[in-house]
Amino acid sequence: MEDGDAVRAGGGLPEASRTALRGPAVRRLLTLRAGEKLTTGHVRVAADALGVSERTVWRWLTAAESDETVAAHPGTRPQTGARFTITPEVRGLLALWKGNVRAVHRELVLRAAQQSPPADAPSLTTLHRAIQRDLTPGERAGLTGGERAARKHDVFLARPRGWRNHVWETDHMQAPVLVDVDGTARRPWITWFTDCATNAITGVAVTPVHPSRESVLAALRSAVLREAPYGPFGGLPEKVRVDRGKDFLSRTVTAAFDVLDVTVEDLPAYTPHLKGTVEGLNRAVESMFLAALPGYARQPRPGKRPARPKDEVLLGFEDFTARLLAWTRWWNTEHRPAPLQGRTPLQAWQDDPTPLRDVPATDLWTFTLEDAGTRTLTTRGVRFRKRDYVGPWMTGQAGNQVRVRYMPHHDHRIEVYHAATGRYLGPADLADQATEEQISAVRRARAARARRLKKDLEASQRERYAAATRAEAPQRLGALTTAQAGAELAQATDTDLADLALPDLIPPTAPPTGWRTPASLTALTTSGQSLPLLSGSGEETAPARRDGRAARHTTDEDGDA
């Protein structure tokens, strides 16, 4: 029987499976031969299963008895020389050249030629073959694109889904959509909480600029409350997973979680797969909702600004928030994620009989405020951060000790509680608060000053260099004469000395009593300290010299008399 006929005869298994079975089959036949139980029937059955002829199997047995390596891989071609393998040096070059095999090959050829005597470098085909053989797909991707690219080839375990409010996951996401915020195009941030068992979005908050702990607290309140318009999802979870975000681990947020009896699981850095539910939500909202909005600004590749129509009208922040909340309701009530097996998050939530832990809205508001300590309520209200806050309920309350709590970054209002009993007294608004027109004017003035200062700094520090066509040191452009350089240095020196001068630190002493001093100078001198009249011809003051000449003149006249 020829080998081709044997392959057709044994053809139940694919070629890869038959090749993998060669080693175990040959080792089994060797065991039978060692026990003197090997027969021709055993060889025939093995040949039919492996898709080769009986003569080939007998040849493998003969070679395996003399060489143990043949028993591991029967039928492979013997190596005539040392096979090229991937060494740590080649790995380092692959990482240096970001997976560029041709660049690595040039480096290996150059290093081999510099050795004494010159060594042989592998060919480009051999290098490609060794990389495919010795490196896994994850290693090749990691050497090319880093850890994130290598993670795409990893195998991850799936957590058990658990029950509703067993585990929540939370995250910030910057929406790739430009939104009109007070006349400026900005990319808003989304902060949300999601339930891992039902894939429901329990709470969401949108921030026009970079989020803070205030965004986390606002999203947490909307997630816990089950009354309109937040329900029916909500209640207190048993655990919340975060990813080392400073906003989620701030003192105020962690204190709120502790008071609400919620465990915070701080995940290791750069492990988004450990909170896959919210990461999947981040990807889903972009492809299912954000990509269709005007102002979508996802960059096709890093460093390249996407082209947008010049006449495109951006959504306002209010309109964007309303659309996002509508999409959130659609996700919870109509969307059917694959893990829920045809159910919506709302149906999965309602089918779960796990009891819920609710918190009154007033208590939740108190728990999610930042504590600023105790203050004394005076006739001017409550003093907080060098500003006064007043409320209509403060009448007749002056002199009481109160505790101040506030929402971070909300400077217009604070919440006041009785210091001893903790009873809520009421809100207090900022006294003498500026109008919106005044605030806008101040912001415009600050922005203009910042732009002017930035322009002046850039103009003073800008340096230009000549273009080089050969290897040489960089040459600065911009010529100065000797007079110009001296004048500029003198001006800088004078300016520095003038800034350091403190003319009012030590006031000048008072002049001698015999001097006639202007009233403006007398007010600036130290009182009660006058200079004495100095003796001697060289150190006498002008009035003293005048008095001396008058005295001598009188003496002379008396002597003549």
Q: What is the pTM of this model?
A: 0.62
Same domain, 199 and 285: yes
Rounded to an integer, the average pLDDT of 365-376 is: 83
Look at residue 352 in the predicted model and tell me its pLDDT: 93
**pLDDT score recorded for residue 499:** 62
Nearest to 326 by CA among 218, 226, 229, 182: 229
DSSP 8-state secondary structure symbol assigned to residue 480: -
CATH number for the domain that contains residue 236: 3.30.420.10
> What is the pLDDT averaged over residues 21-29?
87
Question: Is pLDDT of 479 > 70?
Answer: no
Q: Label residue 549 by pLDDT band (50, 70, 90).
A: very low
Average pLDDT over residues 72-98: 81
- Report if residue 98 sits inside a domain: yes
| pLDDT value for 2 | 42
User: To the nearest 10°, the Cα dihedral for 342, 348, 352, 354?
Assistant: 150
pLDDT of residue 536: 44
Quick one: pLDDT at residue 469? 61
* 31 within domain boundaries: yes
Higher pLDDT, residue 80 or 286: 286
Within a domain: 261? no
Residue 213 has pLDDT above 60, yes or no: yes
546 pLDDT band (50/70/90 cuts)?
Answer: very low
Q: Phi first, then psi: what are they for 255, rounded to 5°?
A: -65, -40
The partner residues of 368 in beta bridges, in order of sequence, read none
State whether 127 and 59 are in the same domain: no
Q: Is the pLDDT of residue 41 over 50?
A: yes
Same structural domain for residues 210 and 331? yes
Domain co-membership, 229 together with 321:
yes
Separation of alpha carbons 225 and 232, rounded Å: 9
Amino acid 498: pLDDT: 56
Residue 286: domain span? 167-241+267-351
State the alpha helices, DSSP H only, in 343-418. Answer: 345-351, 361-367
Q: Would you say residue 326 lies in a domain?
A: yes
pLDDT confidence bin for 471, thresholds 50/70/90: low
Q: What is the pLDDT of residues 381-401, one digit of tens each?
A: 899 888 889 888 888 888 889
Can you give the pLDDT at residue 420? 87
Q: Indicate the pLDDT class of residue 33, thresholds 50, 70 and 90.
A: confident
Quote the pLDDT of residue 334: 93
Give domain status of residue 21, yes or no: yes
- 295 and 347 fall within a common domain: yes
Whether residue 315 sits in one domain with residue 188: yes
Q: At what angle do helices 124-134 and 101-114 cross, to 10 degrees?
A: 120
Mean pLDDT of 209-213: 86
CA distances, 174 to each of 190, 318, 534 (Å): 6, 16, 80
Same domain, 218 and 101: no
User: Residues 492-509: what's their mean pLDDT?
Assistant: 62
pLDDT of 234 above 60: yes
172 shares its domain with 283: yes
Residue 560 inside a domain? The answer is no
- Across the range 332-341, mean pLDDT stands at 91
Q: Are residues 173 and 276 in the same domain?
A: yes
Q: Does 217 share its domain with 285?
A: yes
**Does residue 453 register a pLDDT over 90?**
no
End position of a domain, from candidates 325, 351, 377 = 351
- Is residue 499 one of the residues assigned to a domain? no
Contact assessment for residue 384 and residue 414, using Cβ atoms and an 8 Å cutoff = yes
pLDDT of residue 545: 46
Domain count, the chain: 4
Task: Check residue 23 and give its pLDDT.
Answer: 85
Mean pLDDT of 307-320: 81
Q: Which tokens belong to 33?
A: 């031969």
More confident residue, 468 or 20: 20
Band (pLDDT 50/70/90 cuts) for residue 511 is confident
Find out whether 22 and 75 touch, Cβ atoms under 8 Å: yes
Pair of tokens at residue 525:
């001198």
Does 99 reside within a domain?
Answer: yes
189 and 280 housed in the same domain:
yes
pLDDT of residue 167: 94
Of the listed ranges 66-80, 117-131, 409-423, the least confidently predicted one is 66-80
31 and 56 belong to one structural domain? yes
Question: Which domain-ending residue is among 351, 386, 402?
Answer: 351
Asked if pLDDT for residue 306 goes beyond 70, the answer is no
Mean pLDDT value across the chain: 81
Per-residue pLDDT, 525: 66
Res 148 pLDDT > 70: yes
Q: How confident is the model at residue 124 (pLDDT cuts 50, 70, 90)?
A: very high
The most confident of 80-84, 341-345, 410-414, by mean pLDDT = 341-345
**pLDDT band at residue 440 using 50, 70 and 90 as cut-offs:** confident
Between residues 257 and 369, the one the model is more confident about: 257
- CA dist., res. 118 & res. 357, Å (int): 76
CA–CA distance, 234 with 345 (Å, rounded to integer): 13
Task: Look at residues 31, 48, 72 and tell me which one is the last residue of a structural domain.
Answer: 72
